[in-house]
Amino acid sequence: MTIDDVLEDKELLKRNAENLKANIPPTRSPGVGLKKTLETVFTTHTFGYEKIIPLFGDPDEEIAIYPYKSILFEDKALLSEHCRRSLDSQHHDSVVRTMKKARNYGLDKFVFTYLGAHEYYYSRSRGVNMPAFGVFLSSKLDNRDEKANATMYDLESHLVAGRDPSELTLAPSDARDITGFEIANRYDDKFHDYWCGLNYETKNGSDESWASKREFHYYDKVSIEHIEAIIWPIQKGFDAQLGQFVVRADISDDIRKFRKNHSRIHIYPYEWNSPEGKDRFHYASFLVVDEFQRTQKYLHPDSFRDSFASKFPAW
Amino acid sequence: MDQKEILVTHFYRRPPDPTLWIHTSFITRKRGSNQRFWGLSNDVVDPRKIKADVDDRGLKELDVDIPIHEGETVWIAPDQSVFVADARNPLAPSRRYITQDKIPNPFDTIEKTILKKIAAGAYPAKDKVTQSFCSPAQWKTLLAILVKLLNNGELNEKNFFTVGYLFLILEARYAEFNRELNGYRFNGYYMTVSQGHLGFLNNKDLFYEWEIAIDTDSLESYFPEPEEEDFVLPDFSKLSMS
């Protein structure tokens, strides 16, 4: 079965929700606050700053591409793999090597997001990373079209092993509902233990938290109209003449330009550097969701800046 | 990691900053072992990931592995030379040269390829390289190059047919962008692109207006399905240009 078949079978979706919920020891129902948070909380998507690839069709040449420019300034949308391929001949086979299960299931026609903290883009290690952007998408997208859906887990997760994706597919509202039960029971009501896979007070966490989160899928493309906030990497370079780090000029220009055209979207610039990049990215993501789950509001950029700087001082 | 000497084996390539030294990520091994780690961490890297990233050009293997210590990282200098140095000061005397990288900027890559094709006098629409230039990531760069070539005379009425269809591709694929282009000052040039028609105002305030008399209903024939035989170059010499 493909995702299209499953989405047509409303009974199957309902049965999946019942079965998956039954797998969670149902001793406690989520509280009103947690329920409300999960009904309204954003989904997340990550993309990179730059990438070097062989020039399509001419392997002797290579070219640097900038995914963030395509998404935020040119396409003005997150595109599904299928949509990218139809527009962009620069598409190369790195995507084809990954997410094979998702493609076979027909999910290449969807934009992927997590109901959880941003997944780091370039690696799953703190030791190496590249600058990453994290966007927060409105929960209203769930109802945007009939094809919006979720899977209980990323299909590459070890928790999916041996199971058919059709059994794990859910309507978005059921996925949010199940997550509430899961947090109440499996995570002892601790929202962040599910969302971030990391307790910032005890510093206990796992880089594999992506494997146990819900994955949401939106059909074809998601216009940046649906982005509510962005964590934006501020890259610094070392100025040999000044003998100190300074912000790269193009970064500031881009933020200014984007803010001018999209004043509604909250921008949270965070300072990226290679040795601490992953922790900085995760903490920036955490600050935004922490405020949202407590107040149902987005953090004020000044508060974000101060909180971030107190944990990660500027270089 | 334990106290064994750590060596950088690969680094992730990045376009340089024109004036600043920037960090990049790297892969290491311990002396005497072939197991690879992410940076200075103890997280093991899957060899398949290394191979895939090297094949994709994002990751480069060093000819000679270079020692690295805690507190250091890999830097890319403005001239694309690559060093291991203190993570907070790439100019510290302890820095070690690794290699010289060379990533052309997109403008140079695309311009070089277009000039090659103009010189050859043939520019098949199905050309994959050309198609990649028409991607959302590159279309503005492509337009900048075409305007530059038009202005310096390398692209003229005689050889315009070699690239004229590029505008049609842009028009067909990016109708929305083209609407935005009307009245858009592109790198200081006023450009208009509309059905079968290209106009621009160059830096001498001379307005060039060329009509590309192609029946746009037949655009489909310019973009055959991939499984079909190679596309035959349309007879652009029949285009009228005024």
Taking contacts as CB-CB distances below 8 angstroms, the residues of chain B near A123 are 25, 38
Regarding an ipTM greater than 0.85, the answer is: no
* pLDDT score, position B112: 82
Taking contacts as CB-CB distances below 8 angstroms, the residues of chain A near B131 are 56-57, 89
Q: How many CB pairs under 8 A join A and B?
A: 156
Q: Half-sphere exposure of A277 toward its Cβ, with a 13 Å CA cutoff? A: 32
| CA B131-B211-B237 angle, 5° bins | 70
Taking contacts as CB-CB distances below 8 angstroms, the residues of chain A near B113 are 55, 58, 61
d(C-alpha B65, C-alpha A270), whole Å: 33
pLDDT tens profile B19-58: 999 999 899 999 999 999 988 888 888 898 899 888 888 8
* pLDDT score, position A248: 87
* pLDDT score, position B142: 75
Residues 6+ apart with CB under 8 A from B17: A237, A248, B78
d(C-alpha A102, C-alpha A108), whole Å: 7
d(C-alpha A170, C-alpha A168), whole Å: 6
Percent of chain B with pLDDT over 70: 54
B106-120 vs B161-173: helix axis angle to the nearest 10?
Answer: 130
B129-147 b/e with 16+ CB inside 10 Å = b? bbbbbbbbbbbbbbbbbbb
Residue A104 Cα distances to A5, A17, A271, B60, angstroms: 13, 22, 38, 32
CB contact under 8 A, B25 and A122: yes
pLDDT tens profile B107-125: 787 888 778 777 776 655 5
pLDDT tens profile A58-84: 667 777 778 888 889 877 899 998 887
List the 90-119 stretch of B: residues with Cβ below 8 A of A: 90-91, 103-106, 109-110, 112-113
Supply B24's token pair.
């990049």
Q: Which residues form the domain of A288? A: 3-311
d(C-alpha B242, C-alpha B239), whole Å: 10
- Per DSSP, the residues of A255-280 read HHHHHHH-TTSEEEEEEE-TTTHHHH
- Cβ-nearest to B23 among A52, A243, A274: A274
Q: How far is A312 from chain B (nearest CA, A)?
A: 15
The model carries a pTM of 0.79
* pLDDT score, position B68: 96
pLDDT tens profile A39-61: 999 999 999 888 887 766 666 77
CB contact under 8 A, B58 and A53: yes
Q: Is the dihedral of CA A97, A103, A107, A110 positive or negative?
A: positive
Residue of A89, A99, A128 to mutate, testing the B interface (most B Cβ within 10 Å of its Cβ): A128
CB A193 within 8 A of CB A199: yes
d(C-alpha A56, C-alpha A180), whole Å: 45
Helices (H) and strands (E) in chain B, counts: 6, 12
What is the phi/psi pair of residue A83, to 5°? Answer: -65, -40
pLDDT tens profile B95-105: 999 999 988 77
* pLDDT score, position B100: 94
* pLDDT score, position A121: 59
Q: How far is B134 from chain A (nearest CA, A)?
A: 8
Count of domains for chain A: 1
Q: Is any Cβ of chain A less than 8 angstroms from the Cβ of B175?
A: no
Q: How confident is the model at residue B180 (pLDDT cuts 50, 70, 90)?
A: very low
Find where tokens 């203190």 sit.
B86
Q: How far is B140 from chain A (nearest CA, A)?
A: 9
- Cβ-nearest to B106 among A64, A89, A238: A64
- Per DSSP, the residues of B74-123 read EEE-TTSEEEEEETTBTTSTT-EEEEE-----HHHHHHHHHHHHHHHT--
CB contact under 8 A, B25 and A61: no
Max Cα-Cα span within chain B: 74
* pLDDT score, position B188: 39
Helices (H), chain B: 47-55, 106-120, 128-133, 139-151, 161-173, 175-181
What is the phi/psi pair of residue A153, to 5°? Answer: -140, 160
Helix (H) or strand (E) holding A95: helix A94-97
CB B78 within 8 A of CB B20: yes
Q: Is any Cβ of chain A less than 8 angstroms from the Cβ of B138?
A: yes
Taking contacts as CB-CB distances below 8 angstroms, the residues of chain A near B91 are 238, 240, 243
Q: How confident is the model at residue B137 (pLDDT cuts 50, 70, 90)?
A: low
CB contact under 8 A, B58 and A75: no
Q: Which residue of B has its CA nearest to A70?
A: B137
Least confident interval from A185-189, A250-254, B168-172, B225-229: B225-229
Q: How confident is the model at residue B62 (pLDDT cuts 50, 70, 90)?
A: very high
Q: Which residue of B has its CA nearest to A49?
A: B14
* pLDDT score, position B120: 74
CB A179 within 8 A of CB A152: no
d(C-alpha B185, C-alpha A120), whole Å: 38
**Mean pLDDT, rounded, of chain B:** 70
d(C-alpha A311, C-alpha A115), whole Å: 25
CB A238 within 8 A of CB B89: yes
- Cβ-nearest to A89 among B43, B75, B131: B131
Residues 6+ apart with CB under 8 A from A240: B21, B90, B91
pLDDT tens profile B67-95: 999 999 999 999 999 999 999 999 999 99
Taking contacts as CB-CB distances below 8 angstroms, the residues of chain A near B134 are 89
- Cβ-nearest to B88 among A74, A122, A315: A315
* pLDDT score, position B235: 38
Which one, of A262, A269, A258, lies nearest residue A306 by Cα?
A: A269
CB contact under 8 A, A69 and B135: no
Per-residue HEC secondary structure of A107-121 comes to: HHHEEEEEECCCCCC
- Cβ-nearest to B23 among A69, A124, A273: A273
Q: How far is A147 from chain B (nearest CA, A)?
A: 25
Q: What residue ranges of chain A have pLDDT lower than 70?
A: 26, 55-59, 86-98, 121-129, 198-207
Taking contacts as CB-CB distances below 8 angstroms, the residues of chain A near B136 are 70, 74-75, 87-88
